[in-house]
């Protein structure tokens, strides 16, 4: 795995560098508004904190649940939206397909498709139920590497 840089700059916080550091206390990510703990990028002056992925996420991605269009990172969703993976309100930066209205938390972009054999064995929720359960498990356990 690629080592995280010690300092980064972010488009939502251009005045000060963000430092990669560990704190035991939980935080609310200034990008996606989802709680995290442990390692994070932080500006001590402004109390601006980001998940590692949110600090370094690309501006455009392709995503397996929406293969027909690229998703573009936007600073704020503009209107009340729900992430299509976890079904949680999007309050911060969001990947969007403005053509189709597909919205995705930056952290939920880390959820990978379930192998076909496991999909058949999964009962009570199917494909979307599996993805929601994986996303919620990631959020509950802060496994965002």
- Each residue of 14-32: pLDDT tens digit? 889 999 999 999 999 888 7
Where helices occur in 17-125 by DSSP H, the ranges are 52-56, 116-121
Region 108-121 average pLDDT: 69
Q: Which candidate, 69, 101, 98, places its Cα nearest to that of 82?
A: 101
Residue 117: pLDDT over 70: no
Residue 82 has pLDDT above 70, yes or no: yes
> Could you tell me the domains of the chain?
7-56 (3.30.60), 60-141 (no CATH)
Global model pTM greater than 0.85:
no
Residue 71: the pLDDT is: 95
Segment 93-110 mean pLDDT: 89
Please, which residues have CB within 8 angstroms of residue 22's CB and are 6 or more apart in sequence? 38, 39, 40
> 74: which strand partners?
94
Mean pLDDT, residues 9-14 taken together: 80
Q: Tell me the C-alpha distance between 18 and 72, whole Å.
A: 23
Q: Kindly tell me if the per-residue pLDDT of 86 is higher than 80.
A: yes
Higher pLDDT, 92 or 99: 99
Give the Cα separation of 36 and 39 in Å (integer). Answer: 9
Interval 101-123 mean pLDDT: 73
- Do the Cβ atoms of 76 and 93 come closer than 8 Å? yes
């Amino acid at each position: 795995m690629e080592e995280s840089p010690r300092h980064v700059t972010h488009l939502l916080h251009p005045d000060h560098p963000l430092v990669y550091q560990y704190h035991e206390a939980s935080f609310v990510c200034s990008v996606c508004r989802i709680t995290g703990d442990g390692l994070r990028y932080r500006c001590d002056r402004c109390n601006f904190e980001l998940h590692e992925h949110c600090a370094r996420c690309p501006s455009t991605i392709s995503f397996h649940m929406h293969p027909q269009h690229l998703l573009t990172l936007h600073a704020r969703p503009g209107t009340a939206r729900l992430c299509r993976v976890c079904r949680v309100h999007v309050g911060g930066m969001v990947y969007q397909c403005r053509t189709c209205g597909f919205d995705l938390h930056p952290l939920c972009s880390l959820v990978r498709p379930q192998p076909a054999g496991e999909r058949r064995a999964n009962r009570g929720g199917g494909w979307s139920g599996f993805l929601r359960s994986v996303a919620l498990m990631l959020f509950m356990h802060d496994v965002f590497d």
